[in-house]
A and B are shown apart, each in its own frame.
Chain A
Amino acid sequence: MSIRVAVDIGGTFTDFVCLNESTGNIIEEKAHTTPANFASGVIDAVGKSKINLSEVQYFAHGTTVVINAVTERKGAKTALVTTKGFRDVLEIGRANRPDMYNYFYKKPEPYVPRRLRFEIDERVDYKGNVLQAVDEHEVRHLAKQIKAENATAVAICLLNSYANSAHEQLIEQILAAELPNVEITTSSSIVKVWREYERTSTTVLNAYVKPAARLYLNTLDETLRELGLETQPYAMQSNGGTATFNLAKEMPISLIESGPVGGVIGGAALGKVLGEENIITFDVGGTTAKTSLINRGEVKITTEYKLEWTPQFAGYPIKTPVVDIIEIGSGGGSIAWIDEVGILKVGPHSAGADPGPACYDKGGNRPTLTDANLITGRLNPDNFLGGTFKVSLQKARDAVKPIADHFSISVEEAAMGIIKTATSNMLNALKLISVRRGYDPRDFAMLAQGGNGALLSPHLAAELKVKKLIIPNLPGTFSAWGMLMTDLRQDFMQTMIMPVEGADLNKINEIYDEMEQSAYAVFSKQNIDPSRIMLMRSAEFRYIGQEHAVAAPVGAGKIDQEALYTARREFDRLHNHHYTFSLPDAAAEMVNFNLTAYGVVNKPDIKKIETKTGSAEDALKSHRDVLFEGYGKKNCPVYNRPMLAPGYKINGPAIIEESKSVTVLCPEQLLEVDAYGNLIIEVMAEV
Chain B
Amino acid sequence: MLDPFTRENIAQGLLAAADEMFYTWGRTSQSTIIYEVLDYACGLTDAEGNLIGQANGATMFLGAITFSAKAALRKFGKENIKPGDMFLTNDPFTGSGTHLCDVAAVLPIFHENELVAFAVNKGHWNEIGGKNLGSWSTDATEIFQEGLQLPDVRIYDCGVFNESVRDIIAANSRTPEMTLGDLYAQTAALRIAESRVIELLGKYGRDQVVESIEHILESGRKLALIELSRMPKGEFFAEDVLDTNANGVADIPIKVKVTITDDSMEFDFTGTGDAVFAPINCSIYGTYSGARIIYHALVSPHTPANDGFYSPLKVIAPEGCLFNASSPYPVSCDWEPIQILTDVVKKALASAMPDRVPAGHFLSIIGTIIGGIDDKSKNPFVLVEPQAGGWGAGHNKDGERGLVAICDGETFIIPVEVCEYRYPVRVEQFAFNPKVGAGEHIGGHGLIRDYRILNSNAALTTMASRHKHPPWGFAGGHDGSINDVQVHRSAGGYESRATWSNEPLAGGDLVRFISGGGGGYGNPHNRPADKVLDDWKNQYITATEALEYFGVVIDEVAQTVDEVQTKLKRQI
* Interface of chain B, main secondary structure: mixed
Query: In this complex, what residue of B is CB-closest to A92?
Result: B402
Contact of A420 among B5, B20, B400 (CB under 8 A): B5
Query: In this complex, what residue of A is CB-closest to B535?
Result: A114
**Residues 444-459 of A at the B interface (beta carbon under 8 Å):** none
Contacts of B392 on A, CB cut-off 8 Å? 103
- Nearest Cβ distance between residue B483 and chain A, in whole angstroms? 15
Q: Does B238 contact A (CB under 8 A)?
A: no
- The segment from A1-9, A193-201, A608-616, A659-667 that touches chain B is A193-201
* Alpha-carbon gap, A92 to B391, bound state (A): 13
Q: Does A579 contact B (CB under 8 A)?
A: yes
Contacts of A87 on B, CB cut-off 8 Å? 431
Contacts of A125 on B, CB cut-off 8 Å? 420, 426
Contacts of A44 on B, CB cut-off 8 Å? none
- Contact (Cβ within 8 A) B417 A194: yes
- The segment from A12-20, A137-145, A338-346, A476-484 that touches chain B is A338-346
Q: How many residues of A contact B (CB 8 A)?
A: 65
Query: In this complex, what residue of A is CB-closest to B296?
Result: A101
- The segment from B135-143, B219-227, B457-465 that touches chain A is B219-227
Contacts of A631 on B, CB cut-off 8 Å? none
- The segment from B26-34, B239-247, B504-512 that touches chain A is B26-34
* Alpha-carbon gap, A344 to B8, bound state (A): 9
* Alpha-carbon gap, A581 to B426, bound state (A): 35
- Contact (Cβ within 8 A) B403 A102: no
* Alpha-carbon gap, A100 to B357, bound state (A): 15
Q: Can you list the 5 inter-chain pairs with the closest CB atoms, starting with the nearest?
A: A95-B388, A85-B429, A100-B409, A101-B301, A114-B538
Q: Do A100 and B9 contact each other (CB < 8 Å), given the known contacts A436-B20, A548-B36?
A: no
- Nearest Cβ distance between residue B248 and chain A, in whole angstroms? 31
Contact of A195 among B222, B394, B411, B418 (CB under 8 A): B418
- Contact (Cβ within 8 A) B28 A580: yes
- Contact (Cβ within 8 A) A85 B428: yes
Contact of A104 among B394, B418, B428 (CB under 8 A): B394
Contact of B429 among A86, A101, A162 (CB under 8 A): A86
Kindly list 15 other residue pairs between chains A and B, CB separation below 8 angstroms, not including A86-B429, A89-B416: A86-B430, A88-B402, A91-B402, A92-B447, A96-B403, A102-B297, A103-B391, A107-B403, A113-B538, A114-B538, A159-B416, A344-B8, A421-B5, A424-B9, A548-B35
Q: Do A581 and B415 contact each other (CB < 8 Å), given the known contacts A101-B301, A125-B426?
A: no
Q: How many residues of B contact A (CB 8 A)?
A: 69
A533-557 CB mask vs B (1 if < 8 Å, else 0) is: 0000000000101111000000000
- Contact (Cβ within 8 A) B421 A497: yes
Contact of A343 among B59, B219, B302 (CB under 8 A): B219
* Alpha-carbon gap, A85 to B409, bound state (A): 27
**B interface list, Cβ under 8 A from A:** 3-6, 8-9, 12, 16, 20, 23, 27-28, 30, 32, 35-36, 56, 58-59, 181, 188, 219, 222-223, 226, 293, 296-297, 301-302, 346, 356-358, 388, 391-392, 394, 396-397, 400-404, 408-413, 415-418, 420-421, 426, 428-432, 447, 450, 537-540
Contact of B417 among A196, A424, A547 (CB under 8 A): A196
- Contact (Cβ within 8 A) A88 B301: no
A76-93 CB mask vs B (1 if < 8 Å, else 0) is: 000000000111110111
Q: Does A416 contact B (CB under 8 A)?
A: yes
Q: Do A100 and B410 contact each other (CB < 8 Å), given the known contacts A85-B430, A125-B426?
A: yes
- Contact (Cβ within 8 A) B16 A97: no
* Alpha-carbon gap, A160 to B23, bound state (A): 32
Contacts of A98 on B, CB cut-off 8 Å? 409-410
- Contact (Cβ within 8 A) A579 B28: yes
- Contact (Cβ within 8 A) B431 A88: yes
- Contact (Cβ within 8 A) A97 B404: yes
Q: List 29 A-B contacts (CB under 8 A).
A: A85-B431, A86-B429, A88-B401, A91-B401, A91-B402, A92-B388, A92-B432, A92-B447, A94-B413, A95-B388, A97-B408, A97-B409, A99-B301, A101-B296, A102-B297, A103-B346, A103-B356, A103-B394, A113-B538, A125-B420, A126-B420, A160-B420, A194-B415, A197-B415, A343-B219, A413-B3, A417-B3, A417-B5, A436-B23
- Contact (Cβ within 8 A) B411 A104: no
* Alpha-carbon gap, A639 to B36, bound state (A): 53
- Nearest Cβ distance between residue A580 and chain B, in whole angstroms? 5
Contact of A101 among B6, B297, B396 (CB under 8 A): B297
Query: In this complex, what residue of A is CB-closest to B401?
Result: A91
- Nearest Cβ distance between residue A83 and chain B, in whole angstroms? 9
* Alpha-carbon gap, A101 to B356, bound state (A): 11
Contacts of A497 on B, CB cut-off 8 Å? 421
- Contact (Cβ within 8 A) A95 B402: yes
- Contact (Cβ within 8 A) B32 A581: no
Q: Do A545 and B32 contact each other (CB < 8 Å), given the known contacts A85-B431, A95-B403, A97-B408?
A: yes
- Nearest Cβ distance between residue A467 and chain B, in whole angstroms? 19
Contacts of B416 on A, CB cut-off 8 Å? 86, 89, 159, 196
Query: In this complex, what residue of A is CB-closest to B357?
Result: A103
- Nearest Cβ distance between residue A320 and chain B, in whole angstroms? 18
- Nearest Cβ distance between residue A387 and chain B, in whole angstroms? 32
Query: In this complex, what residue of B is CB-closest to A193?
Result: B417
Query: In this complex, what residue of A is CB-closest to B7?
Result: A343
- Contact (Cβ within 8 A) B430 A89: yes
Contacts of B59 on A, CB cut-off 8 Å? 100-101
- Contact (Cβ within 8 A) A95 B413: yes
Query: In this complex, what residue of A is CB-closest to B225?
Result: A341
* Alpha-carbon gap, A210 to B43, bound state (A): 46
Contacts of A91 on B, CB cut-off 8 Å? 401-402, 432
Q: Do A104 and B396 contact each other (CB < 8 Å), given the known contacts A92-B401, A435-B20?
A: yes
* Alpha-carbon gap, A413 to B5, bound state (A): 10
Q: Do A115 and B302 contact each other (CB < 8 Å), given the known contacts A85-B430, A162-B417, A546-B32?
A: no
Contacts of B394 on A, CB cut-off 8 Å? 103-104
Q: Does A584 contact B (CB under 8 A)?
A: no
- Nearest Cβ distance between residue A353 and chain B, in whole angstroms? 28
- Contact (Cβ within 8 A) A340 B223: yes
**Residues 624-665 of A at the B interface (beta carbon under 8 Å):** none
- Nearest Cβ distance between residue B12 and chain A, in whole angstroms? 6
A118-151 CB mask vs B (1 if < 8 Å, else 0) is: 0000000110000000000000000000000000
- Nearest Cβ distance between residue B38 and chain A, in whole angstroms? 9
Q: Does A407 contact B (CB under 8 A)?
A: yes
Query: In this complex, what residue of B is CB-closest to A406?
Result: B4
Contacts of B397 on A, CB cut-off 8 Å? 104, 106
- Contact (Cβ within 8 A) B417 A126: yes
Contacts of A546 on B, CB cut-off 8 Å? 30, 32
- Nearest Cβ distance between residue A129 and chain B, in whole angstroms? 12
- Contact (Cβ within 8 A) B297 A96: no
A314-352 CB mask vs B (1 if < 8 Å, else 0) is: 000000000000000000000000001111100000000
* Alpha-carbon gap, A88 to B515, bound state (A): 15
* Alpha-carbon gap, A538 to B139, bound state (A): 47
Q: Does A363 contact B (CB under 8 A)?
A: no
- Contact (Cβ within 8 A) B32 A547: yes
Contacts of A421 on B, CB cut-off 8 Å? 5, 8
- Contact (Cβ within 8 A) B27 A438: yes
